[in-house]
Chains A and B, each alone.
Chain A
Amino acid sequence: MKNELKFALHTIKKNLASSAELRTSFLMNIFGMMINNVSFVIIWVFLIKTAGNIGGWTSADIFGLQGFVALIYGFVFSFGAGLKEMPRLVSSGIFDQFLLSPKSLLGRVATSSFSASAIGDLFFGVVCLGIYWSMIGASMEQIILTLVLCVFATLAFIGATVSIQAISFYFTDPDSVTRSLFELFFTPSLFHGGAFQGATRFVFTFLLPSLVIGTLPVEAVTNLSYQKVVLIGVLSVVWFVLSLWLFKKAVKRYESANFMTFGQ
């Protein structure tokens, strides 16, 4: 385990150094993504201004939501951008080279690529959470709870992402399928959390963990609801373990590429 972590950190360091070599492009990606992310804050804050509070949500909660989601997305996809590349790696047969590596297969795939723009998401998430804390006048308990929930939500995000990407092994042209499913999971996590009630809340909590990575953590921190913290913790662990099992099962379906470069 220690060796695996050491190797992953080494790969991340190399990826980061190689990405930062093109400095202007690297910085533009980071700042461009930060500006890009402001869009959802603008949309939902303006909706609250026009329609008033919905489901008890205020502008502060919108900042909290965007903070959680951007931070988690940025963290996972900056250092583990290889997860997004899985459909391409599988369909092109490049996945072979990962199978030959003596390191953890999933860890090796995840750290094989780096995304500079996701660093912008990460910074944006930190800034939004800072604004959220100051807007709600967060206590030390709420700050610690936010950090704990970031860990749980990251596990849920990795779980859902790996489960979706594992589908790549079942299709000859997996790009569209995985992209659509990822959007179905991720896009609702950016929507106004207060508007998810009844059936939609059930579907996007238990069938797809879209609300587990943003909406539920914000509600847990704002209302200091430990019941929700337990629910998020349980769902995160379940999704994470399930994804590892699904990935292991899916890899068995992989048919190695040969000298003629035929994948699948």
Chain B
Amino acid sequence: MKQLRLSKTIIIMMIRDRIAYPGRLIVDTFGIAARCGVLLILYWYIFNVKGGEINGVTFQITSWSMFLYFAFMTLRLRDLASSIMQDIKSGTVEILLSKPVHYLSYRVWWQFGAGLYPFFVAAILGTVALTFLVGIPATMSSSFFFLSLVGVFILSSILSLLIYAAVGLLSFWIEDIKPLYWIVDKAVMILGGSYLPVALFPPLMYKIAIWSPFGASQFITHTVYETWKQSYLEMFGIQLTWIFILGFIVTVMFSRAHKKVSVNGG
């Protein structure tokens, strides 16, 4: 109950904070829209040149898959790693650890709350724009799609937060985690199907994308494909397995890191 109150308070506070700066939101949304838009125009050309279909997938499906990746990115869950690193580098972690609130819960909810408003704005605007431009594929017009989308969204968010929390917590042992963060982030970007949609992956790369935590954290991009109905249970299973494994790793890392810090000490 206490945890729920904490999460609610932080999320409301962060949403109010984001609403207070509409200029920043407009600029950020424009940036993502421009990047995603340019990419979609390029793929539109590629699909036209290749006769409208590549690997049995149409441009319509591809564009929705890539859009889901970019919309999910607006949650900025990956910033959790740099927030934790900043707390450790600046020493703020000492103060936060002495509070009667679990440090990781606080950081996770803070991150989630900070991205929620931009996510909804980008998702709604993008959905409207794509619906008018390319239309809605048949795979997205069933209630099964919406229900499974909600499920995969929750699991993807938890998995992403765990991946970036593990990277961030390494700051307790490594002086500069940025290089590691770049590698993990790019693994998520490639295997998640950002610039190259998952349907266009070569077979080996597709297997890596399915079985690695980096690809699993972006299963949201798989929901628009026709294969989703057959594979969703397996994918939920993979996500849950990684959540348990990474949850355990993060818990161990945090308890060790906690012992390493002497709060209010020298």
Q: Which residues of A contact B (CB under 8 A)?
A: 22, 24-25, 28-29, 31-33, 35-36, 38-40, 42-44, 46-47, 49-52, 54-55, 117, 173, 176-177, 179-180, 183-184, 187-188, 191-192, 195-198, 200
A180-B42 in contact given A32-B182, A36-B182, A36-B186 (Cβ < 8 Å)? no
Q: Does B41 sit within 8 A of A, measured CB to CB? A: yes
Bound CA span A135–B192, Å: 30
Give 21 pairs: A residue, B residue, CB < 8 Å, sorted on A.
A22-B176, A25-B176, A29-B176, A32-B179, A33-B182, A35-B179, A35-B183, A42-B190, A47-B196, A47-B200, A51-B46, A51-B200, A117-B178, A179-B31, A183-B35, A191-B195, A192-B42, A192-B46, A195-B46, A198-B45, A200-B38
Q: Are B179 and A31 in contact (CB under 8 A)?
A: yes
Inter-chain CA distance A130–B214, complex, in Å, is 31
Q: Is the interface of B mostly helix, strand, loop or mixed?
A: helix
Nearest A residue to B183 via CB reads A35
Bound Cα distance from A191 to B39, whole angstroms: 8
Q: Which residues of B contact A183 (CB under 8 A)?
A: 31, 34-35
Query: How far apart sit A198 and B34, CA to CA, in the bound complex (Å)?
Result: 18
Take A25-B175, A180-B28 as given contacts and tell me if A36 and B183 are in contact as well, using a CB distance cutoff of 8 Å.
yes
B201 touches A46 (CB 8 A): yes
Interface residues of B in 34-53 (CB under 8 A from A): 34-35, 38-39, 41-43, 45-46, 49-50
Please give the distance in Å from A100's CB to the nearest CB on chain B: 29
By the criterion CB–CB under 8 Å, are A195 and B42 in contact?
yes
CB distance from A171 to the nearest CB of B (A): 9
Docked CA distance A28–B31 (Å)? 30
Evaluate contact between B23 and A173: CB separation under 8 angstroms.
Answer: yes
- Report if A54-B205 is in contact (Cβ < 8 Å); known contacts: A28-B176, A177-B27: no
Residue B142 is within 8 A (CB to CB) of chain A in the complex: no
Inter-chain CA distance A40–B176, complex, in Å, is: 24
Q: Is the CB of B176 within 8 A of A50?
A: no
- In the complex, A25→B176 CA distance in Å? 6
A203: nearest residue on chain B (CB-CB)? Answer: B38
Asked if residues B179 and A24 are in contact (CB atoms below 8 Å), the reply is no
CB-nearest residue of chain A relative to B30?
A: A180
Interface size classification for chain B: 35 or more
Distance in Å: Cβ of A175 to nearest Cβ of chain B: 9
Contacts of B45 in A (CB 8 A): 195, 197-198, 200
Contacts of A192 in B (CB 8 A): 42, 46
CA distance A42 to B28 in the complex (A): 27
Given contacts A51-B54, A195-B42, A200-B42, A180 and B31 within 8 Å (CB-CB): yes
A33: which B residues are within 8 A, CB to CB?
A: 179, 182
Known: A52-B50, A117-B179, A191-B38. 14 other contacts (CB 8 A): A22-B175, A22-B176, A28-B176, A33-B179, A35-B186, A36-B179, A39-B190, A46-B200, A55-B49, A176-B28, A176-B31, A177-B27, A184-B35, A200-B41
CB of B154 within 8 Å of the partner chain? no
On chain B, the residues within 8 Å of A198 by CB distance are 45
User: Is B8 on the interface with A (CB-CB < 8 A)?
Assistant: no
B93: interface (CB < 8 Å): no
Contacts of B30 in A (CB 8 A): 180
Q: Given A39-B186, A43-B195, A176-B28, A29 and B34 touching (CB < 8 A)?
A: no
Residues of B within 8 Å of A47, CB to CB, are 46, 196, 200
A144, chain B: closest CB distance, angstroms: 31
Q: Does B55 contact A (CB under 8 A)?
A: yes
**List of B residues within 8 angstroms of A184 by Cβ:** 31, 34-35
